[in-house]
Structure 1
Amino acid sequence: MPTDRFPPLRTDNDRIALIDGDRRVSYGALHGAVERLATGLLGGKADLEEERIAFFLPAGTDYVTLLHGVWRAGGIAVPLNVGATLDELDHYLGCARVTRLVAHAGDHAMLGELCARLGIDLLRPDELMAAQAGALPEIVEDRRAMMVFTSGTTSKPKGVVTTHGNIRAQITVLLDAWGWSGEDRIPLFLPLHHVHGIINILSCALWAGASVHLFPRFDAAAVAARVSAGDYTVFMAVPTVYVKLLDHLDGLDEGAARAMCEGFAAMRLTVSGSAACPVPLFEQWRARTGQVLLERYGMTEIGMALSNPYRGERRAGHVGQPLPGVEVRLYGEDDRPIGEEGQPGEIRVKGPNVFLEYWDNEEATRASFRDGWFCTGDMAVVERGYYRIMGRTSIDIIKSGGYKLSALEIEAVLLAHPAIAEAAVIGVEDATWGEVVAAFLVTRPGAAVSAEEIAAWCGERLSSYKVPRQVRFVDSLPRNAMGKVTKPDLKALLTSA
C-alpha cells in the first residue's frame, strides 16, 4: 500500500517529539522541517529515486530531520558512525556509492579530503532546508529506505538494505509487544547507526507519538539526573551502560542513590540488548532498582525477532520467544529443523521484518538465505519454551573434544566471580582437543585473583571440558560502538603475545 509519509509523523504542535538540549521540538515543527528538508534534497526533482544520502551526525534534531527527510524524498538514508575512522568511512561511502554526505560544519575539515577523492558533495544540514515545502513523491513500501552497515565483528562490514515495508514491520511489532504509547518518554544516547537506536528507540517512539530526549553521547551523570527527576517511562540500553549506571550509583550519597533507584523503579519498562546481558548483571540491576530487564534478540538484518514478554516471566539469560508475525526456527548442521528442546541449532528467521539485500553483494545475499529463511549465524537452544543464545556459530561456539561449548555460558560463570568485572571467552586451536577455552578477564578495581583460582572457580560450576585452559588478565576488552566485544581482536592479541 502506498503511503504519503513514512514513517508517519504527527502534525500536532502541542505534543513534544524531541528534547534536544534546551530545545523542545513539537511534532508539528518536526513535520514541517522534514518536509522542507525533503524539498531541499529534491532540488526541483520529482523523486530522489533511491539516491544514497549519508549523514555523519550525532543524536540531535538535525539527525532526525535528515533521516525522515531522505525517506520522504525517496532516497536511501545511510547513517554513519560518528566515531568511525577515515578508513572505515572510506569503506562505507565507497561501498554505498554515496553522492552526498551531510555533516556539521565542525566535521567538514576532517571529511573534506575524503569526500573530494570520492566525488561526494559535502553539505551542512542548514544548506538543504528549503524556504517552504513543495511537492513530494509517493513512497511505496517495497522501495529501499535505509542502508545500515553491520558491526564487522566477523567480516568486512556489509551494507544492509531495508525497505520501507521492512522498517514498518520492525517498528509496528514492537509497538504492541512492548506497550508503546504517546505518553512515553525515553532517553536516546545509543549510537544512531544501528537498529537499536534507530528502530527500537527513535522510530518506535515517534510512531507512537512519544517524546525522545536526545543525548549526543552517553553521560552517566546527566542521564542519571534525568532518571532521578522522573523524566522517563522507558529505558533501553546495552549491558555496558547498565554496568556504568551501577558504578555511578555506587558513587552517590544515600539520598541521591535513593532518588535514582526510585526513578528507575517508576518506569514501566527497561530493556537490555545488542549484547548478551550477564545473569549477575540482570540480578544486580533487579536488586538495586526493582526493575526486571527485558532482554531481546535481534540484528541489523532483521530488527527484533525474539523477546521476553512485556507482561509475563522475563527469564535471566534468555531472550524469550518469537515476536508476533516473525517466524523463528533452529536448524542443525545437516540443514534440518530441530524439533526438540535442549538441542542447539542455528537461528533462522522469516518474516516481513527481514532485510532486502546486502548492498551490491549478490553473493553474500544469496549465501545468507536457505529456502527463504535468513541464516543469522547465531546458535541458540530452547529451554522450557524460551530461547537462550549460545553465540555466533563462527566465534562463540567452541568445538573441543567433540563437544560444542557456548562461550556465553562460560563467560556468565566467570562474571559471577566477585573479582571479575568483564570477561570474554574464545576458542584457540589445540592439537589434541581441536580447540580449548581461553578467557580474557578484566578485574574489578582493587581486586586480585590468579589464573589458578579462576580455574578452581569454574571447575566447581562447569564440566571439566568447559574450564578455561588459558587465562589472560587485560586492562580492557576491545569493543565496537555498540559495546560488543570484537573477539577477532582477542585472537590477534593471543597470537601476538
Structure 2
Amino acid sequence: MNSLFHQALQNPEKIAIVDQDNTYTYRSLTERARAIAAFLLNGKIDLNDSRVAYMVSPGFDYVSTQWGIWMAGGIAVPLCTSYPLPSLQYVIEDTGTEIILTGAEYEDLLAPYAVDPSIRFVRLSEGIPESDPFNLPTIDPNRGAMILYTSGTTSLPKGVLTTHAIIEAQISTLIIAWKWTSEDHTLCLLPLHHVHGIINVVSSALWAGATVEFMHPFDAKTLFQIFLEGKLNVFMAVPTIYFKLISEFESYSESDQRLLFSAMEKFRLMVSGSAALPVSVMEKWKSISGHYLLERYGMTEIGMAISNPYVGERRAGHIGQALPGVDVRLVDEQNAPIEPGQPGEIQIKGPSVFKEYWGKPEATAKSFTQDGWFKTGDIAVLDEGYFRILGRDSVDIIKSGGYKISALEIEEVLRKHPAIKDCAVVGMPNEEWGELISAVLVTDENLDLKLLSKWIREQIPAYKTPRHYLVLAELPRNAMGKVVKNELKALFLTVQQP
C-alpha cells in the first residue's frame, strides 16, 4: 500500500483528518500509524498476514490503526461498531483473528476476548508508546491486505479478501473517474466496515492528499450546519441519508432553504450508492441542492465497477458505464453474451476484483466463470450505452407466470403514489405462478388497497402488479441502508394477508 501512504510524504503539514473538532496532519497520521505498526510487531520483523481485527470509532484512531496494521504486514479486519457480540464473534472466529485492537467505548463488549490466550488483546485507551520504529517490512503488493464481509442479505456473510494491489486498483480508478485532487474536502458518515466508506471516501481522499472530516453518528441538522461552513466540496451517502436530508430540508424556512441551496450548489461532486436510488429522490435532491447525484455500482468483491460520468449525462435510474480498467459484460444463464437490449447478469473482470472468499474455496470457485469473470448475481440491461439495474437475481428478479420481473421497477412505480413514503417488493413462493409479487408499504395513511391495486394497474401491465400487500412502520435495513428482503419474506409467511 505504499501508494496510499505516498501523499502523506508529499505534503506532511496538510490537514488529513478532521475528527470531533480536532485536526490531524498527514505527518501526525503517518507517525501514529508507524507507532501502531511497531507496537503490533512487538519485535517481530513482519506480521506475515496475521489477521488483526479492530473495533474503533470513525476518525483519526480508525485510520491510523488501519494504516498501522498494513505497515506491519497484517491483514486488516474492521469490525462493525453497531454489531452485537454474536455477529462480531462470527467475523473474529471466521478469520482466525490473532490480534484485536479496541477503542475505549468497545472494551466491555469485546471483554470476553481479553482472557482468550490465543488472541492478543490491545486496548487503545492504555496508549500506544511513542517510538522511533525500526525498519518496517516491505509489503509485496500481492499479499493480503483486508477482509471485509458481505452484507449477508441472502446467506451467511462471507469474508472478502483483497490484496494491496487490488485495493490500489479500486482506489486509482476512482481517482481518475471522479477527479479527486488534494484540494478536496469530504465528509465520511458511512460505516467503515464496507467498501463505500473505506475505499470510496476515506482511502480515495487520502490517496489524493485531500482532507477527510468524520461525523459519527449521523444527524441531519448537524450535517447541514457543516454544509453551511463552506469547507466541504465532495459528499457521498446512501439513498436513505438523502431521504432524511430532504425531510430535514423541507422543515426549514424559505430563507434557510435558500442559504442551504447556495451552499450545496458550490459542491463539485455528490454521489449516491450502496442501494438503488429512487428516481423520485434524485429529482427532489436536484431541486433542493442543484446537484444531479452521481449514481454508481459496486460490491464488496469488486469495489466500484460502473459509474455515471463525472462530466456528461447522468441518467436517473441508471448506474452508468464501466470505470477505467474494469471490464463489464452481460450474459445469460449459460454465460453466453446476450442480445443488445436484453437483460443479463453483470459479470466483472479486472485488477480490482477480489482474490477469494476467506476459507471458502468452493464458494470462490462458484463465483467465477471458467474464463475468470466474477459473477455478480445482479441483472441489468444495457440501455443506449448506460447500464440499468433490474435487480439481484436471487432477491429482486421475480419469476412469476413465465415472466422475469424486476422488483426495483415496481418499487419505483409505487413510490410515485402520494401516500407511499417507502416500499419494497419481493416474490413469494406459489405453486401456480412460481412466485407471487408481494409489496411492503410504509405509509402514514389508511390506504385502501383495492384502490391502490386499481391505481397501479393504470401504471404498469397487470402481470407486474402486486397480489399481496403488507404495511409496516419502516423497512428493515442493514448498516448500508439496503433493505433486508429475506426478513420481509419471513413476515409475509407469518402475517395474515389482507
Q: TM-score by structure 2 length? A: 0.96
Q: Tell me the CA shift for residue 16 of structure 1.
A: 0.6
Q: Cα offset for 1:149? A: 0.5
State the SS of the aligned residue for 1:376.
strand
In structure 1, the gaps of 5 or more residues are: none
Distance 1:14 1:42 in 2: 27
Change (3 A) 1:243 1:363: same
Kept after mapping to 2: 8 A contact 1:32/1:133: no
Shift of 1:364: 0.6
Cα distance in 1 for residues equivalent to 2:127 and 2:360: 33
Corresponding residue of 1:480: 478
Deviation at 1:460, TM superposition (A): 1.3
In structure 1, what is the Cα distance between the partners aligned to 2:86 and 2:2?
38
Q: 2:6 is paired with a residue of what secondary structure?
A: coil
Residues 5 and 177 from structure 1, CA distance in 2 versus in 1: closer, same or farther, beyond 3 angstroms? closer
Letter of the 1:479 partner, please give it: R
Counterpart AA for 1:493: L
Deviation at 1:132, TM superposition (A): 2.2
Contact 1:239/1:275 (CA < 8 Å) preserved in 2? Answer: yes
Deviates more, 1:220-229 or 1:301-310: 220-229
Alignment check: 8 A CA contact 1:398 1:427 kept: yes
Q: Offset at 1:181? A: 0.6
Partner in structure 1 of residue 382 of structure 2: 382
CA distance in 1, matches of 2:128, 2:356: 29
1:371-415 Cα offsets, whole Å, 9 max, x none, are 200001111111111101111111110001110000111111111
List structure 1 runs of 4+ shifted beyond 3 angstroms: 3-7, 114-119, 126-130
State which of 462, 466, 469 in structure 1 corresponds to 2:467: 469
Q: Distance in 2 between matches of 1:261 and 1:133?
A: 48
Task: Check the 8 A contact 1:174/1:204 in 2, yes or no.
Answer: yes
TM-score (normalizing by structure 1): 0.97
Query: How many angstroms does 1:122 deviate by?
Result: 2.4
* CA deviation vs aligned residue, 1:66-117 (integer Å, no higher than 9, x gap): 1111111110000011111111111000000001111122321221125545
Q: Letter of the aligned partner of 1:492 in structure 2?
A: A
Find the counterpart in structure 2 of residue 413 from structure 1.
413
Letter in 2 for 1:113: P
Aligned to 1:155: 155
SS in 1 for 2:205: helix
> For residues 382 and 7 of structure 1, what CA distance do their matches in structure 2 show?
38
Verify the 8 A CA contact 1:90 1:114 in the aligned structure 2: no
Equivalent of residue 454 in structure 1, options 452, 455, 458: 452
* Alignment partner, residue 294 of structure 1: 294
- Aligned counterparts of 1:453 and 1:260: Cα–Cα separation in 2: 39
In structure 2, the residue matched to 1:252 is 252
Change (3 A) 1:181 1:342: same
1:437–1:60: structure 2 CA closer, same or farther, 3 Å change rule? Answer: same
Would the alpha carbon gap of residues 210 and 109 (structure 1) be closer, same or farther in structure 2, given more than 3 Å must change?
A: same
Secondary structure of the residue aligned to 1:109 is coil
Amino acid at match of 2:72: A
Q: CA deviation at 1:15?
A: 1.0
The answer as to 2:251 corresponding to 1:234 is: no
Counterpart of 1:301, as a letter, is E
Moved more, 4-13 or 16-25: 4-13
Residue in 1 aligned with 2:487? 489
Contact 2:285–2:292, Cα closer than 8 Å, also in 1: yes
Give the residue type in structure 1 aligned to 2:429.
E
Which residue matches 2:24?
Answer: 25
Partner of residue 320, structure 1: 320
Please report how far the alpha carbon of residue 450 of structure 1 lies from its aligned counterpart in structure 2 after TM superposition: 2.0
Note the C-alpha offset of 1:121. 2.6
> Shift of the alpha carbon at 1:483?
0.4
Q: Which residue of 2 aligns with 1:396?
A: 396
Cross-structure match for 1:305: 305
- For the 8 Å contact 1:6–1:71, the answer to whether it is kept is no
> 1:134 Cα shift?
2.0
Using the TM superposition, give the Cα deviation of residue 120 of structure 1 relative to its aligned residue in structure 2, in angstroms: 2.5
- Contact 2:57–2:103 at 8 Å: present in 1 too? no
CA distance in 2, matches of 1:122, 1:421: 46
Distance 2:231 2:16 in 1: 14
Whether the 8 Å CA contact 1:341–1:384 is kept in 2: the answer is no
Q: Paired residue for 1:146?
A: 146
Moved more, 108-117 or 163-172: 108-117
Q: Is the 8 A contact 2:53 2:99 kept in 1?
A: yes
Residues 254-297 of structure 1, C-alpha deviations (whole Å, 9 max, x = no match) = 22222222221110110000000001111111112110000000
Q: Which residue of 2 aligns with 1:14?
A: 13
Match of 1:58 in 2: 57
Gaps of 5+ in 2: none
Structure 1 residues 138 and 197: CA distance shift in structure 2, 3 A: same
CA drift at 1:118: 8.0
Instruction: Return the alpha-carbon distance in structure 2 between the equivalents of residues 456 and 82 of structure 1.
Output: 45
Corresponding position of 1:435? 435
The residue type equivalent to 1:347 in the other structure is I
Distance in 1 (alpha carbons) for counterparts of 2:323 and 2:216: 31
Deviation per CA, 1:443-491, whole angstroms, max 9, x where unpaired? Answer: 1x4x342212321222111111000000111111110000000001001
Offset of residue 133 of structure 1: 2.3
Q: Deviations over 1:336-355 (max 9, x none)?
A: 122x3321111110000000
Between the aligned partners of 2:3 and 2:70, the Cα distance in structure 1 is 8
Q: Structure 2 CA distance, aligned partners of 1:254 and 1:282? A: 21
2:275 pairs with 1:275: yes
- The aligned counterpart of 2:73 is 74
The equivalent residue for 1:168 is: 168
State the aligned residue count: 492
**Partner SS state of residue 369, structure 1:** coil
SS at match of 2:429: strand
* Distance of aligned partners of 1:6 and 1:177 in 2 relative to their CA distance in 1, 3 Å threshold: closer
* 1:336 partnered with 2:341: no
SS of structure 1 residue aligned to 2:196:
helix
User: What is the identity, as a one-letter code, of the residue corresponding to 2:251?
Assistant: G
